[in-house]
Amino acid sequence: MGAGESEEFHDYSIEIQGRYRTIRAVISFLFRLLSRVEIQGLESIPDKGPYLLLTNHLHLLDSPALMMAFPYRAHVFAADKRRNHWFYGPLFRSLDAIWVRRGEVDRAALRRALAVLAGGGILGLAPEGTRSKTGAMQQGHGGAAYMAFRTGARLVPVVITGQEKIFPYLRRLRRATVHVTFGPAFDPPLTADPRKASGAEIRAFTDEIMYRLAALLPPEYRGVYADVAEKRPNLLAQAATGSQGS
């Protein structure tokens, strides 16, 4: 990168950061005006990357809610169809979003995501891939597990609930309560060759990721991971302890 390109990139970075701070301030103000906000587990968040910030995918307000609660700037995946949306376009551009073409294997997006982690960045994504139509968790996909194996990056779970009630409550002149809960960071398991983790290893670790999210959620939001008490009782105990200590 030449001197001119370096200056141009620096100016672009400053512009993105400034846009992000402005949009985050506006979103935080609106959330706290239109709803009650409760945030737990901030002490669990590492102050530097690389790590994957993993969340449930419940509503269109998930990304703004996470932006309000998370104290650092994270790169996120965003559907390419939202690139020119009046609200989500500027929001995702302020996060320097990785635009993804849905319905196909987008290798360019994957390479950029791996580069974010390799460079010590923070990458936010929802392992479910698409927004839940039932309000409860869906089956997780293996992308987060794959990237964690490939890079060795830590993972930080966060769940958000109540954002789906904001607009229905406002129609009744009430304010919903939005809960954002961060769980403890954890590492991908050791394998013989992390860069070539098997399909079975990726599936097993995906289940672990999803159960960690489910343990942080109220029972009615756990969906296909409602058996967390049976499959991962230790995670439920850990989540309860963390909640009491917040």
pLDDT digits (tens), the chain, 246 positions: 444 444 443 344 556 677 888 989 999 999 999 999 999 999 999 999 999 999 999 998 999 999 999 999 999 888 888 888 888 888 788 777 888 887 666 789 999 999 999 999 999 999 998 889 899 999 999 999 999 999 999 999 999 999 999 999 999 999 999 999 999 999 999 886 767 789 999 999 999 999 999 999 999 999 999 999 999 999 998 888 766 444
Spatial CB neighbours of 214, under 8 Å, sequence gap ≥ 6: 137, 222, 223, 225, 226, 228, 232, 235
Distance CA 11, CA 211 (A): 42
Q: Which residues pair with 178 in a beta bridge?
A: 37
DSSP 125: E
Alpha carbon distance 110, 105 (integer Å) = 9
Q: Which two three-digit tokens encode residue 242? A: 């963390």
- The separation between CA 48 and the C-alpha centre of its own chain, rounded to angstroms, equals 16
DSSP string, 83-114: TT-TTHHHHHHHTT-EEE-TTS--HHHHHHHH
- CATH code for the domain of 111: 3.40.1130
Quote the number of domains for the chain.
1
Q: Which of 151, 167, 137 has the alpha carbon at shortest distance from 64? A: 167
Structural domain range at position 207: 3-245
- The model carries a pTM of 0.88
